């Protein structure tokens, strides 16, 4: 039998020449008459090791990485794909400490096989959650999600089960399931990795939600900046339909659910759920007033479950293994696992899934290994462009929702962006306002005008014009934005600004 060699096909691996590595491996194997088959798997999320090439041998997978096309002839000279002594040899993939120390529930399958193979998905426990759900009453499904303690993974951390209950309880002829896959926060890629490495898990989770609340139509709203995820999701939806996991009669049990992929058009604000719904309806992505909640009046005015990719994914674990199993991970009111994304200036960046409760410092030092540049870490931004900049004194905070709220921060979608000591926090604060000005939907004045004024005021502070007055003005402006904005875009933009001012005041006095 031909030896199987795995080369990932996710965005980061491709951006690091995984296609060229694949070509080099097949060419070298042909030249040496070695019989091997290359499988394009998803990534395990150890992006610092990409392209991470694996060889299947004797029940385990030996890993090599990061492999560049130029390394391939040498690997073969050193015995690849057989016993291979090489500087890039990492031993069995699942014994790489960075991966082994994680506790993967949602990302347990990521990188193990061809993301589009339904057989592979089934063999790794896929669709078990949906099969269980199909045998339960809608209320029993919703109860399981409630009991699991699952909170929305998009950033707002609203209890998922309560959202589903509201939709279940609202009578309507048509209900919708919408997935918010508009993962626009810099420093986050967990949704992308899940969609590219394990797309059927999202399809399964959305279908569970559909069965739970009685919805027959669903949409995945994917950002246009993710072209690989688009290709993979389109193919996955089509294959799931053919295999009877989507469509008019799911697995012959009489349930109907149609799923459609929609592509955004480069607007960060569409990650806000009501703006996303307007965009889906073919309008400008303006934020809606709440109430009414989308669970009562959502897409086209109908009851709509709208959740993040990882929330739907987590629901598959809850239904497959039980609410108690999921709830037993985590701490306090933060149950289950948290997917942290280590990004920016970090030596070992990638996706880390762990139960809630580890400290930020453990993550960036033990997993992250410090900065990529080798210089000292100076600031960490957690929670995307609307998240606070944390100085070293705050890095011992535990990664859970309440602990972060306690330091005026937010975990958001779990993005952690590390900066070394060359960072200028005054410029970062200015960028926070600039980004808000570019991406504001324009509906409310504090956000639309406040962000433009924010850039101007910060420029005056940096240029030492009437410093004391302008610092006061900036604080007042931040108050107005926090208290007066319609959504989190304007309401949270002051957080990075204020944290920069508070903890890195020197940067504003150069």
Partner 1 sequence: MQSSAFSLAETIEAVVQEHIGRVGPLMPVLHAVQERLGYVPSAAIPMIASALSLSRAEVHGVMHFYHDFRTEPAGDHVIQVCRAEACQAMGARALETHVRGKLGINFGETTADGRFTLDPVYCLGNCACAPTVRIDDDIHARVTPQRFDQLLDGLPGEGR
CA-nearest of 426, 425, 401 to 411 is 401
> Least distance in Å: CB of 260 to partner 1?
8
> Least distance in Å: CB of 363 to partner 1?
13
Of 145 and 489, the one with the shorter C-beta distance to partner 1 is 489
Of 142 and 458, the one with the shorter C-beta distance to partner 1 is 458
Of 103 and 186, the one with the shorter C-beta distance to partner 1 is 186
Of 25 and 299, the one with the shorter C-beta distance to partner 1 is 299
> Least distance in Å: CB of 213 to partner 1?
18
> Least distance in Å: CB of 12 to partner 1?
5
Q: CB within 8 A of 284, min separation 6: which ones?
A: 278, 441
Q: How many angstroms from the chain centroid is the CA of residue 477?
A: 31
Of 285 and 336, the one with the shorter C-beta distance to partner 1 is 285
CA-nearest of 424, 154, 188, 392 to 294 is 154
> Least distance in Å: CB of 483 to partner 1?
25
Name the residue with tokens 């999202």: 202
Of 422 and 465, the one with the shorter C-beta distance to partner 1 is 422
- The CA-based diameter of the chain, rounded to the nearest angstrom, is 76
Which tokens in the block code for residue 164? 């589903």
User: How far, CA to CA in Å, does 371 sit from each of 347, 390, 396?
Assistant: 5, 15, 17
> Least distance in Å: CB of 278 to partner 1?
9
> Least distance in Å: CB of 330 to partner 1?
24
> Least distance in Å: CB of 61 to partner 1?
22
User: What b/e readout covers 44-54, taking b as 16+ CB neighbours within 10 angstroms?
Assistant: bbbbbbbbbbb
Of 319 and 423, the one with the shorter C-beta distance to partner 1 is 423
User: How far, CA to CA in Å, does 374 sit from each of 341, 348, 368, 380?
Assistant: 20, 12, 12, 15
> Least distance in Å: CB of 286 to partner 1?
8
Burial class (CB in 10 A: 0-12, 13-18, 19+), 9: buried
Of 148 and 493, the one with the shorter C-beta distance to partner 1 is 493
Of 62 and 192, the one with the shorter C-beta distance to partner 1 is 192
> Least distance in Å: CB of 396 to partner 1?
21
Q: Which element (helix H / strand E) includes 344?
A: strand 337-344
Burial class (CB in 10 A: 0-12, 13-18, 19+), 431: middle
- The CA distance from 211 to 131, in Å, is 11
Q: What is the binding site for partner 1 (CB under 8 A)?
A: 11-12, 14-16, 47-48, 50, 183-189, 192, 217, 219, 224-228, 260, 262-268, 279-285, 299-300, 341-346, 349-350, 372, 381, 385, 415, 417-420, 423, 427-428, 431, 435, 438-439, 441
- The CA distance from 454 to 470, in Å, is 10
CA-nearest of 310, 228, 313 to 10 is 228
Q: CB within 8 A of 140, min separation 6: which ones?
A: none
Of 38 and 423, the one with the shorter C-beta distance to partner 1 is 423
Name the residue with tokens 């696992």: 337
CA-nearest of 363, 329, 320 to 343 is 363
Of 42 and 81, the one with the shorter C-beta distance to partner 1 is 42
- The CA distance from 355 to 476, in Å, is 39
CA-nearest of 86, 82, 89, 90 to 34 is 82
CA-nearest of 357, 356, 377 to 368 is 377
> Least distance in Å: CB of 300 to partner 1?
7
- The CA distance from 481 to 486, in Å, is 9
């Amino acid at each position: 039998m031909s030896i199987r060699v795995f080369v990932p096909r996710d965005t980061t691996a491709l951006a690091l020449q995984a296609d060229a590595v694949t070509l080099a491996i097949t060419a070298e194997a042909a030249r040496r008459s070695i019989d091997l088959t290359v499988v394009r798997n998803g990534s395990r999320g150890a992006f610092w090791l990409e392209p991470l090439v694996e060889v299947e041998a004797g029940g385990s997978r030996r890993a090599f990485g990061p492999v560049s096309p130029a390394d391939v002839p040498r690997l073969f000279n050193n015995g690849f794909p057989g016993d291979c002594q090489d500087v890039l040899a990492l031993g069995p993939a699942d014994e790489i400490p960075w991966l082994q120390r994680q506790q993967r529930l949602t990302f347990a399958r990521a990188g193990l096989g061809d993301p589009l193979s339904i057989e592979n998905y089934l063999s790794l426990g896929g669709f078990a959650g949906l099969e269980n759900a199909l045998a339960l009453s809608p209320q029993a499904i919703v109860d399981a999600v409630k009991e699991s303690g699952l909170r929305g993974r998009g950033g707002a951390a609203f209890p998922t089960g309560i959202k589903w209950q509201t939709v279940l309880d609202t009578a309507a002829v048509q209900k919708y399931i919408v997935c918010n896959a508009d993962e626009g926060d810099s420093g986050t890629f967990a949704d992308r990795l899940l969609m590219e490495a394990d797309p059927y898990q999202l399809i399964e989770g959305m279908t569970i939600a559909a069965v739970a609340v009685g919805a027959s139509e669903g949409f995945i709203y994917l950002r246009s900046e993710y072209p690989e995820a688009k290709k993979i999701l389109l193919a996955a939806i089509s294959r799931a339909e053919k295999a009877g996991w989507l469509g008019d009669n799911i697995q012959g049990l009489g349930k109907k659910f149609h799923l459609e992929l929609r592509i955004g058009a480069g607007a960060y604000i569409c990650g806000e759920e009501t703006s996303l719904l307007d965009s889906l309806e073919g309008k400008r992505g303006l934020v809606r007033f709440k109430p009414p909640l989308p669970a009562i009046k959502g897409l086209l005015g109908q009851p709509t479950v709208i959740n993040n990719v990882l929330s739907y994914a987590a629901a598959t674990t809850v239904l497959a293994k039980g609410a108690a199993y999921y709830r037993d991970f985590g701490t306090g009111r933060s149950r289950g696992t948290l997917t942290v994304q280590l990004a920016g200036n970090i030596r070992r960046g990638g996706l880390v899934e762990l139960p809630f409760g580890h400290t930020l410092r453990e993550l960036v030092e033990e997993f992250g290994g410090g900065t990529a540049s080798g210089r000292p870490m100076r600031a960490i931004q957690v929670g995307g462009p609307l998240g606070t900049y944390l100085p070293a004194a705050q890095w011992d905070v535990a990664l859970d929702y309440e602990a972060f709220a306690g330091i005026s921060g937010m975990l958001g979608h779990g993005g952690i962006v590390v900066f070394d000591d060359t960072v200028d926090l005054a410029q970062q604060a200015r960028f926070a306002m600039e980004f808000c000005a570019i991406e504001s939907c324009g509906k409310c004045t504090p956000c639309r005008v406040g962000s433009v004024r924010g850039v101007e005021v910060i420029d005056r502070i940096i240029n030492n014009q009437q410093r004391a007055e302008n610092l006061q003005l900036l604080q007042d402006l931040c108050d107005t934005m926090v208290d007066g904005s319609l959504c989190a875009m304007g309401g949270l933009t002051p957080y990075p600004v204020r944290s920069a001012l508070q903890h890195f005041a020197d940067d504003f006095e150069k």
